[in-house]
Structure 1
Amino acid sequence: MAEAHQKNHDYHIIDPSPWPIIAAFGAFVITFGGVAYMRYLSGGSFKVFGIEFAGPWLFYIGLAVILYVMYGWWSDTIKEAHEGAHTRVVSLHLRYGMIMFIASEVMFFVAWFWAYFDASLFSSEPIQASRVLFTGGQWPPKGVEVLDPWHLPIYNTVILLLSGTTVTWAHHALLHNDRKGLIQGLTLTVLLGILFSSVQAYEYAHAPFAFRDSIYGATFFMATGFHGFHVLIGTIFLLVCLVRSIKGDFTPTQHFGFEAAAWYWHFVDVVWLFLFFSIYIWGGWGAPLAAG
């Protein structure tokens, strides 16, 4: 009887799981709650069937559900890996899945770059009078002071490039079964990620323009803010890998969780280089620099 249930193939037939339906519920609540939260912030009302939902509480309930699903689902995935379910074929498909996820993220950034270049390259098109109205017929728009790319932006560029080096060091140490090097490399990468986010938060707080001031501010904050959000997610991703490394979860032959985090972090690095050159340098060329 035992032989009848013995696994004789490379595929993983997963057990019934509650996480997909809970994740769908959480996604619905956080989306619905996000609308209610925005109505609340703008001083409006959000009634459904006569019930007032305007407020922040529904959004945070949905967020809590999503975080719980992430913890539970990934914990199950780690458990399956330790049980030997991640065979050669399964590992290959996990890599395909991560590649497709990063490709979808690339398209998100393409949208923000598209919006930025569309507004900047055609700011003086006479056929589009609204753009001339919003930009003054030039880019950056008249009256906009831009951030000095050779101040905080170049500082953050160096930070991210260094973090790409340290995460590669950690990966190399893992492949050579150097647990100490793995932990040191990951620790430095997480600290550099936190430093990057802190510098960007300071930059936002002292920016000479706001999101609502102009099309320049809107496209700037959407593109760089979306990247900053990815840095935050990547830092958490690597922090989880650091905890798992300290626990001894990774081996030179089985460490896809770390590998996926490293791919994601390198993707964040590359996107930042495009942002730095296109938005901070090219996009602010010739404009007056903000003081300080």
Structure 2
Amino acid sequence: MRGPNHQLPYYFVPHPSRHPLAAALSLLLMMGSLATWINGDGWAKYTFFAGLFSLFWVVYHWFGDAIHESETGHYGKRVDLSFRWSMSWFIFSEVMFFLGFFGALFYARLFALPDLGSLSGRLLWPDFTAVWPNTGPADLITHFGSMSPWPLPTINTALLLSSGVTLTVAHHALRANHRRKTAIWLAATVGLGVIFLFCQGFEYFHAYHELNLKLTSGAYGSTFFLLTGFHGFHVMLGATMLSVVLYRVIRGDFTPEKHFGFEGAAWYWHFVDVVWLGLYIVVYWL
């Protein structure tokens, strides 16, 4: 159904697509394999990466179809509005995802640990001290060192905060139709994200080999690696999204008035920045 101006459809309804089913199966394979891999089955790492590659393949073709539909004039204001609401709800779901892990950390520190250190707990484990981090009441966990906010986490914080600034500059440049300036500042944002990932990888190497801190190091180790690891995965996704946007900026896809592809990726990146600030304070300082 077309609107009064007969230029754009009132609302675009795409053809039936295999992409949603393929994405769901890829996610099922990837996350099921990840859970199995964490529990010690070595073969699961191969199926995890197979699922990850499959997911990226699906997303590549799915987003490619959406970009083609946008560039060929199928999307009007109502579709643009639906994309904005969809991205908003997606980011909200990501907020709830991280709140679950933050909630587990707070429960372990504010409820479980003091309860184990109470009078009834001391009757069972007289030598237990309710301090964080902890090796557990029965001292079954190999001793490990805790992570310090200096220097890598603080450097990573500076990197992500700087990337938020460079992305904002790129957005203003796009709205002013300065395409070259947009591409330069957007490339700087992607570069800062990549540096962040390399620093986090070095931090994990330090944790494993020098602090003996692993995913199996009690509540501290599991919450640390799940929070920082999933955040790093989101940084990788955000950098991938911004790389695609950078390619489209260079190709000339966006205009100062119509560039939600850029804005959606920017929203996601700023969300990743905010999550890191909370993580930096709660995990490394408190």
So what's the TM-score if we normalise by structure 1? 0.83
Q: Deviations over 1:168-209 (max 9, x none)?
A: 011000000000110011110011000111111111110112
- Partner amino acid, structure 2, of 1:200: Q
- Aligned counterparts, 1:185-200, within 5 A: 185-200=185-200
Which residue of structure 2 lines up, in the alignment, with residue 288 of structure 1? none
- Partner amino acid, structure 1, of 2:185: G
CA displacement at 1:61 relative to structure 2: 3.6
**Whole-Å separation in 1 of the counterparts to 2:196 and 2:128:** 31
Structure 2 residue corresponding to 1:107, chosen from 96, 117, 121: 96
1:217 paired to 2:210: no
Structure 1 residue corresponding to 2:58, chosen from 66, 69, 79: 69
Q: Deviations over 1:12-63 (max 9, x none)?
A: 1212222223323333444555566567x536xxxxxxxxxx5555444433
SS in 1 for 2:24: helix
SS in 2 for 1:86: coil
Which residue of structure 1 lines up, in the alignment, with residue 176 of structure 2? 176
**Whole-Å separation in 2 of the counterparts to 1:221 and 1:57:** 21
Q: Deviations over 1:121-142 (max 9, x none)?
A: 2312128849x96973111226
- Partner amino acid, structure 2, of 1:150: W
**Whole-Å separation in 2 of the counterparts to 1:156 and 1:170:** 21
Count of aligned pairs between the two proteins: 267
Which residue of structure 1 lines up, in the alignment, with residue 19 of structure 2? 19
Which residue of structure 2 lines up, in the alignment, with residue 138 of structure 1? 131
Which residue of structure 1 lines up, in the alignment, with residue 106 of structure 2? 117
Identify if the C-alpha distance between structure 1 residues 97 and 35 changes in structure 2 by more than 3 Å, giving closer, same or farther.
same
Aligned CA-pair RMSD: 2.7
- Partner amino acid, structure 2, of 1:111: G
Question: Is residue 242–residue 265 contact of structure 2 (8 Å, CA) maintained in 1?
Answer: yes
Identify if the C-alpha distance between structure 1 residues 60 and 203 changes in structure 2 by more than 3 Å, giving closer, same or farther.
closer
Identity %, equivalent residues: 42
- Partner amino acid, structure 1, of 2:189: T
Identify if the C-alpha distance between structure 1 residues 7 and 17 changes in structure 2 by more than 3 Å, giving closer, same or farther.
farther
Identify if the C-alpha distance between structure 1 residues 246 and 272 changes in structure 2 by more than 3 Å, giving closer, same or farther.
same
Q: Deviations over 1:89-119 (max 9, x none)?
A: 1101100000000000000110111111111
SS in 2 for 1:27: helix
Question: Is residue 135–residue 215 contact of structure 1 (8 Å, CA) maintained in 2?
Answer: no
Q: Deviations over 1:58-103 (max 9, x none)?
A: 4444333322210111011001111222211110110000000000
Gaps of 5+ in 2: 1-5, 136-142
**Whole-Å separation in 1 of the counterparts to 2:276 and 2:35:** 30
- Aligned counterparts, 1:44-59, within 5 A: 56-59=45-48
So what's the TM-score if we normalise by structure 2? 0.84
**Whole-Å separation in 2 of the counterparts to 1:120 and 1:35:** 24
Question: Is residue 231–residue 268 contact of structure 1 (8 Å, CA) maintained in 2?
Answer: yes
Question: Is residue 197–residue 235 contact of structure 2 (8 Å, CA) maintained in 1?
Answer: yes
Question: Is residue 163–residue 189 contact of structure 2 (8 Å, CA) maintained in 1?
Answer: yes
**Whole-Å separation in 2 of the counterparts to 1:135 and 1:248:** 63
SS in 1 for 2:114: coil
- Partner amino acid, structure 1, of 2:62: W
Which residue of structure 1 lines up, in the alignment, with residue 140 of structure 2? none
Question: Is residue 27–residue 62 contact of structure 1 (8 Å, CA) maintained in 2?
Answer: yes
- Partner amino acid, structure 2, of 1:190: V
- Partner amino acid, structure 2, of 1:274: G
Which residue of structure 2 lines up, in the alignment, with residue 156 of structure 1? 156
Structure 2 residue corresponding to 1:226, chosen from 223, 230, 240: 230
**Whole-Å separation in 2 of the counterparts to 1:250 and 1:260:** 13
Gaps of 5+ in 1: 1-5, 44-53, 283-292
- Partner amino acid, structure 1, of 2:110: L
